[in-house]
Amino acid sequence: MIKQVLIGFLCGAAILTVGILIGHYGITQSSSTVVWVQDVVKDVDESFIQKFLSEVDNIQIQENLKELTKMPHMATTAGDEQTVQIMLKRWQDPKTGLDHAWREEYSVYLSFPDPKNPNKVTVVGPGDTALHTVREKEKVYTSDQADPEVVQPYAAYSPAGHPKGKLVYANQGTPSDYQLLNNTVDLRGTIAITRYGGAGRGAKAINAAPYGVVGVLVYTDPLDINDGLMSDNETYPHSWYLPPSGVERGSFKSHYGDMLTPYLAAKEETYRIPVENITGIPPIPIQPIGFEDAYRLICELGGDAAPAAWQGAFNCTYNFGGPGFKPTSVFKNSDVKMDIYNYEEVKNSSNVMGVIRGSAEPDRYVIYGNHRDSWVHGAIDPSSGTSVMLELTRVLGTMVKQGQWRPRRSIIFGSWGAEEFGLIGSTEYTEQYFTKLSERTVAYINVDIAVFANATLRASAMPSVQNVIFTAAKQVNAPGLDSTSVYDNWIHYSNRSSTTHGTIPRVGYLSGAGSDYAAFVHYLGITSMDLAYTYDRSKTNARIYPVYHTAYDTFDYASKFIDPGFFSHQAVARTAGNVLIRLADSLVLPINCSDYAESLEDYLNTAVNLYQHQLKDWNISMEPLKRAVASFRSAATHLDQVIRTSDLANETPLKVRRINDQLMLLDRAFLNPLAFPDKRAYRHVIWASSSAGKPTFPGLADAYANAESSGQASDWDKVHYHLSVLTQAIEGAAHTLTDVI
Amino acid sequence: MIKQVLIGFLCGAAILTVGILIGHYGITQSSSTVVWVQDVVKDVDESFIQKFLSEVDNIQIQENLKELTKMPHMATTAGDEQTVQIMLKRWQDPKTGLDHAWREEYSVYLSFPDPKNPNKVTVVGPGDTALHTVREKEKVYTSDQADPEVVQPYAAYSPAGHPKGKLVYANQGTPSDYQLLNNTVDLRGTIAITRYGGAGRGAKAINAAPYGVVGVLVYTDPLDINDGLMSDNETYPHSWYLPPSGVERGSFKSHYGDMLTPYLAAKEETYRIPVENITGIPPIPIQPIGFEDAYRLICELGGDAAPAAWQGAFNCTYNFGGPGFKPTSVFKNSDVKMDIYNYEEVKNSSNVMGVIRGSAEPDRYVIYGNHRDSWVHGAIDPSSGTSVMLELTRVLGTMVKQGQWRPRRSIIFGSWGAEEFGLIGSTEYTEQYFTKLSERTVAYINVDIAVFANATLRASAMPSVQNVIFTAAKQVNAPGLDSTSVYDNWIHYSNRSSTTHGTIPRVGYLSGAGSDYAAFVHYLGITSMDLAYTYDRSKTNARIYPVYHTAYDTFDYASKFIDPGFFSHQAVARTAGNVLIRLADSLVLPINCSDYAESLEDYLNTAVNLYQHQLKDWNISMEPLKRAVASFRSAATHLDQVIRTSDLANETPLKVRRINDQLMLLDRAFLNPLAFPDKRAYRHVIWASSSAGKPTFPGLADAYANAESSGQASDWDKVHYHLSVLTQAIEGAAHTLTDVI
């Protein structure tokens, strides 16, 4: 009987099981949808993130850096091509590579010194006898500096020319610096020596020319970079400080992207504007020199003493210049002569692109990028970032190749070319794929210099992604601090008080064009971020890591002085990778519109405090702007609530897609291609660059400053116009966040 | 034993059933998704379309028209407000209305005649004695013309003024007309009489001013509108022809949208440009008159006989003017004096908006619109279209209210204000909701004048939607032809040969700004169409229906002469409604990118034939453009194949969404806000307006014509530049159609 019951029970169970199986899989509707139903509701997998974090390896990053920095890899040189090959090899590796990787070339306008006629700066006495010649190459401390491919220090896009004149000291070369100097010294025919900082590189020459200055020198003052240290035995290779002969190279143009093809991708047959129509480049020759030589020149200058704020670290008084040298100087009556042989050339520069195809939403892109080109070996700039990127792609690529993981959305990796010449590769990419990228890109993550120093994380971003950065940073251990997260370490170094969140780490804004995020932010309006590890500001005043853009930015330097053990690199890779995975995998995009509202409110409050009173006198009301920001806040609150109260994993996948589209496209609502008539590459009305230097809406701040200075009614009209542009952009953004219909 | 087997079998069956039920409904995943799985794969329902077609009622349309035309409803008048109330009442009706309807107001810059100082045109002898006074109001034939709200004929945006001078005849007032006339007659100080056609209304004055002409009259020649007929007993109310006193009113400005707030929505507090900065309006007074008066003036003119092409239907020779009248005329030595009292005013104009919320994709919009304002009673323009729209919303609204139907996507109905003044309501709407509409709008359907005449359908559209228009037109019976479809009737009247489809009806392009589609096409880049029933061109040469913009465009006229029985209105409602439902309900959007490719190829072939030879001389290659068009074709073919070979009803709904996004956003890829520096409201590089009059890419055609005429290298540079703009737009569009990653 027991046996029969047992048999009956087993039979019944078997039949039931068959029934369940038929019911679950056998009925068409369910069975055919089951496959994709799982797929479309897939969310970020925390255990996968843990796995990713554990796989990110500091030694791999170190080895990447070693390989990338074997030779100088300035844009379009043989060394650059070598790095192209490294990227392609890695990303096309069948076991650790991406789904697909390729190269994209642009023909771009670059500027080089002539290796056969090196640029020269000399102090010349009567009859042009050289009394002092500025060093042509940086001093060799390691074999790196002896590499014949090290490019002579120069100012890219400085015109060639042979100006000669009495030397003057013009501090940082800002408009007010030249104005002040001109009050004392007749600047016509002079050569001005300036120090880095305060004004853009090219601006130092652009600001000088109207005063009749015929040539400009620029150097890095030890005060600004070396915490005052300047002797050979205190600097690299003895410390991280800049050696006396080190020279910061750089691009001296003002606008980002290829200059001959504005707003068009620089393909071979693209129309190019005449060279004479280029704007924003030095009108007179300019050349960077080391502080060793600057010391010789400045300390011999005659004339009145420059103001205290102009004084640097040299053990002499910085005088304006007589113009020219002191009567007591060996250089007395001498001129400074510049012989600049730079030439411009259209050359092919490559981006290397790689993708991992998304599973559920391949038409949504998370883009992660960094430039590949350096000035010399570029261990920190940019290869620290590239080493990190290669480690990310190794870890993620391996998981993809092993079938362990595929992101919900597509990931695009970009290794940009010719960034050092003015963000060229990334800009041309955004111009070529403008529509596709605008429509589909969820976010752009930029990790250029991954590690400036090993104290703390630093992030600049649209406010809507601060939270995902925080989430990621909380899951990563701070280098060298076992029980402290990157987040907790960061908040200790830099924080602010948020009305919503209390004390949180301070995230900067991407209002400038300092790296390849520029075109993504300002031209495409894509939610972006820039991540790095950086200084303890209580320990150094260095403007940037001291050997920036010099021949000393080498693997040796990076591994000895910036990040021994590569633990900060690892922390950045883990944090940025974590953010990347969350953006790619989350069911609901980790983009928070209420955090955007808080930033708009901050900007509004500042604007009201600064401008409202005087605007009233001109009959310009700020009420519409206030209402717009309030609309935005209320729409953001509403959308947050919809997200919070929806069971999105079980509702139609078109609902979460709809919400994600609202989040993805939020920044696009702030674009207005007509907002800034003088700088069409800036279309984002919240984050455009600004010269007014106020922490508020950039176009409003600039228009206001301009009107206040001119006092003209037509300039106040421009303030009113921009207020309307801004108001409608914010209202328009609010419209996109409310219920879709 | 049998019993036991039976019991066993029954038990087994019961257990199996329980299992099946558990398996099918009891496992969370399937049961909770079933609801939305049905919803997301919903496709267009042909039986619903049949039901819709059968419900569209000609008598309802007739009654709509009767109600809408009870009084004149010029923008912002009491009559306009009355139509606002009609729309709101209908669309808010709980049984036949939409989900939601509301009004949106804009403060827009309009122009009116002064009712207290009517505009006057007189022939004055010495001492300003009036020898002839032009009729101030149109002759009364029905009570409609006697309505005190009938606005006096005037030229909106003509400046006020009191010019006086000798009369000349300037044909259509094109640049070449004035040039030719100026060869014979000194135009300084003259008043020019012109006929409608050939040039835009405002252009007749803009073109005249440089020659010193001080005032312009414009009339409708019976040759152009009445097939030559001009006597009182041959015209309305005896026929559809324009009575001798009828006057076409109109907007005389060149740019669309509110003139004081370009590219910004004209909200109350929006910044307004100074009135003196307005461009594109008549610099000298202009006034329209009837041909009755024009006859008196023209047939008395002295001077040489004008060329044959300038002659109209009057039984006299059209002379240039001495300047002034013949010595034999009673008017000899007389001047023509204009007293124009028009004034401008910022007034509130309303759009009425109504929506049906979409079920599966509420964040996708199909927009259907027409303006509501007329010049007088506007039975044809625009109330024929509004009557059709109201019938569509009645039929669809009723089904929604009864729970019988809800579209897959949202439908937005727009009843635009102040179109007659220059497409103002629709333009302000696109400016206010720019981002939201750009991101979400699938298509815009414009039905302004629904029935010009009752011979055949006429459509202008982006080529990608010709096919859905064809599909719809095949399902609707042609009015008065029981066994012939609208499609078959149409192909008989107007056809072309397609490389893909053979002989098909000819669909025009939306390259102008003739109705409210302008901002959707040119500013937003939204796939659009404009539908109407129109003439048998073998039966009339009328430039447009003869009483256009006159006081005779009444219900009486429409029901007697344009569409007795309202069957053509019904056919338009059925066709447009069918298209609307297909765009709103289809699983895969009925937008065909290969048909777009065919149009691009046509344009390319024309461009190559016209320009390639001479461009080679200037070293400008057309090869990149050819490659771009080929890329587009190949990408379109590929996407078509993906659509054809996918089982989209059973695959993830995110796949069909992805494809639909590609189709929806196709036209957006052709936008470039910097493409036309002189006309920023035109951003669509394929369909922008053009003055060159060539059936090819408009910017290329205009740039080429300009370079050819000036011969300057810098103008050939502009041709090259525009070629690059065009090439990259087409390449960019192709990128959006290929595999998304």
Spell out where B134-200 has E strands: 155-156, 164-165, 167-169, 191-195
pLDDT at A123: 98
The DSSP result for A520-578, as a single string, is IIIIT---EEEEEEE--TTT---SS-TTTTSTT-SHHHIIIII-GGGHHHHHHHHHHHH
Catalytic residue among B104, B138, B292, B419: B419
What is the crossing angle of helices B28-40 and A28-40, to 10°?
90
The verdict on a CB contact (< 8 Å) between A732 and B433 is: yes
Spell out where A224-326 has E strands: 250-251, 286-288
Spell out where B260-330 has E strands: 286-288
The verdict on a CB contact (< 8 Å) between A621 and B269 is: yes
Q: Tell me the C-alpha distance between B568 and B584, whole Å.
A: 24
Q: Which of A484, A458, A481 is nearest to A576 (CA)?
A: A458
What is the crossing angle of helices A383-401 and A567-585, to 10°?
50
Please identify among residues 631-650 of chain A the ones whose CB lies closer than 8 Å to any CB of chain B.
650
Question: Strands A130-133 and A409-416: what pairing?
Answer: unpaired
A280 has a pLDDT exceeding 50: yes
Q: Tell me the C-alpha distance between A417 and B426, whole Å.
A: 44
Q: Higher model confidence: residue A36 or residue A354?
A: A354
The verdict on a CB contact (< 8 Å) between A653 and B653 is: yes
The verdict on a CB contact (< 8 Å) between B18 and A16 is: yes
pLDDT at B31: 42
* Band of residue A619 on the pLDDT scale cut at 50, 70, 90: very high
pLDDT at A678: 83
Q: Which of B27, B353, B654 to mutate to test the interface with A (most CBs of A within 10 A)?
A: B654
Spell out where B330-480 has E strands: 335-339, 343-356, 361-371, 409-416, 441-446, 456-461, 477-478
The verdict on B263 touching A (C-beta cutoff 8 Å) is yes
Please identify among residues 376-415 of chain B the ones whose CB lies closer than 8 Å to any CB of chain A.
410, 412
Q: Tell me the C-alpha distance between A701 and B304, whole Å.
A: 64
Contact yes or no for A665/A593 (Cβ under 8 A): no
How many residues belong to chain A?
741
Mean pLDDT, to the nearest integer, of A49-61? 98
The DSSP result for B40-86, as a single string, is HT----HHHHHHHHHH--HHHHHHHHHHHTSS--BTTSHHHHHHHHH
Q: Is A730 helix (H, G, I), strand (E, B) or coil?
A: helix
Q: Report, as residue numbers or ranges, the catalytic residues of A.
A: 419
The helix (run of H) or strand (run of E) holding residue B183 is helix B175-184
Contact yes or no for B409/B358 (Cβ under 8 A): yes
A441 has a pLDDT exceeding 80: yes
Contact yes or no for A72/A376 (Cβ under 8 A): yes
Q: Which of A428, A586, A591 is nearest to A519 (CA)?
A: A428
Contact yes or no for A284/A161 (Cβ under 8 A): yes
pLDDT at A2: 59
Contact yes or no for A684/A668 (Cβ under 8 A): no
Write out pLDDT tens, residues A655-695. Answer: 999 999 999 999 999 999 999 988 889 999 999 999 999 99
Furthest-apart CA atoms within chain B: distance in Å: 130
A694 min Cα distance to partner chain B (Å): 23
Q: Is B88 helix (H, G, I), strand (E, B) or coil?
A: helix
Nearest to A363 among B22, B264, B661 (CB): B661
Nearest to A725 among B264, B720, B735 (CB): B264
Q: Which residue has the tokens 């006989």?
A: B305
Backbone φ and ψ for A364, nearest 5 degrees, come out as: -120, 130
Please identify among residues 493-522 of chain A the ones whose CB lies closer than 8 Å to any CB of chain B.
none
The verdict on B367 touching A (C-beta cutoff 8 Å) is no
Cα A611 off chain centre by: 31
* Band of residue A33 on the pLDDT scale cut at 50, 70, 90: very low
Q: Which of A411, A526, A736, A741 to mutate to test the interface with B (most CBs of B within 10 A)?
A: A741
Q: Is B355 helix (H, G, I), strand (E, B) or coil?
A: strand
Q: Tell me what the pLDDT averaged over chain A comes to.
A: 95
Contact yes or no for B733/B665 (Cβ under 8 A): no
The verdict on B660 touching A (C-beta cutoff 8 Å) is no
Q: Is B126 helix (H, G, I), strand (E, B) or coil?
A: helix
All structural domains of chain B, each given as residue ranges with its CATH number in brackets, are: 46-111+347-585 (3.40.630.10), 114-341 (3.50.30.30), 593-737 (1.20.930.40)
Backbone φ and ψ for A308, nearest 5 degrees, come out as: -55, -40
pLDDT at B341: 98
Read off the DSSP letter of residue B724: H
The verdict on a CB contact (< 8 Å) between A435 and B735 is: yes
pLDDT at B582: 98
Write out pLDDT tens, residues A522-538. Answer: 999 999 999 999 999 99
* Residue ranges of chain B whose pLDDT lies below 70: 1-34
C-alpha neighbours within 13 Å on the C-beta side of residue B595: 24
Q: What percent of chain A has pLDDT over 70?
A: 95
Chain A positions in Cβ-Cβ contact with residue B26 (cut-off 8 Å):
23
The verdict on a CB contact (< 8 Å) between A263 and B365 is: no
Contacts of A215 (CB under 8 A, 6+ apart): A161, A163, A164, A165, A191, A192, A284, A285, A286, A287, A336, A338, A340
At residue A693, what is the residue type?
G
Chain A positions in Cβ-Cβ contact with residue B32 (cut-off 8 Å):
650
Q: Tell me the C-alpha distance between A249 and A265, whole Å.
A: 26
pLDDT at B32: 47
Instruction: Retrieve residue A630's tokens.
Output: 């309030």
pLDDT at B524: 98
The answer to whether the peptide bond before residue A237 is cis (omega within 30 degrees of 0) is yes
The DSSP result for A391-460, as a single string, is HHHHHHHHHHHTTS---SEEEEEEEES--TTTSHHHHHHHHHTHHHHHHHEEEEEE-SSSBS-SSEEEEE
Instruction: Retrieve residue A703's tokens.
Output: 């228009």
Contact yes or no for B532/B575 (Cβ under 8 A): no
Contacts of A580 (CB under 8 A, 6+ apart): A366, A368, A392, A411, A445
Contact yes or no for A44/B43 (Cβ under 8 A): no
Please state, in angstroms and as integers, the Cα–Cα distance from residue A72 to each residue in A80, A151, A422, following that order.
Answer: 8, 8, 18
Question: Strands A528-534 and B502-505: what pairing?
Answer: unpaired
The verdict on a CB contact (< 8 Å) between A267 and B721 is: no
The ipTM assigned to this model is 0.94
Question: Strands A528-534 and B100-112: what pairing?
Answer: unpaired
Furthest-apart CA atoms within chain A: distance in Å: 125
List the beta bridge partners of residue B663. none
Q: Which of A687, A681, A683, A639 is nearest to A664 (CA)?
A: A639
Instruction: Retrieve residue B567's tokens.
Output: 């069957």
Instruction: Retrieve residue A670's tokens.
Output: 């702030």
3-state secondary structure string across B479-501: CCEEEEEHHHHHHHHCEEEECCC
Chain A positions in Cβ-Cβ contact with residue B263 (cut-off 8 Å):
674
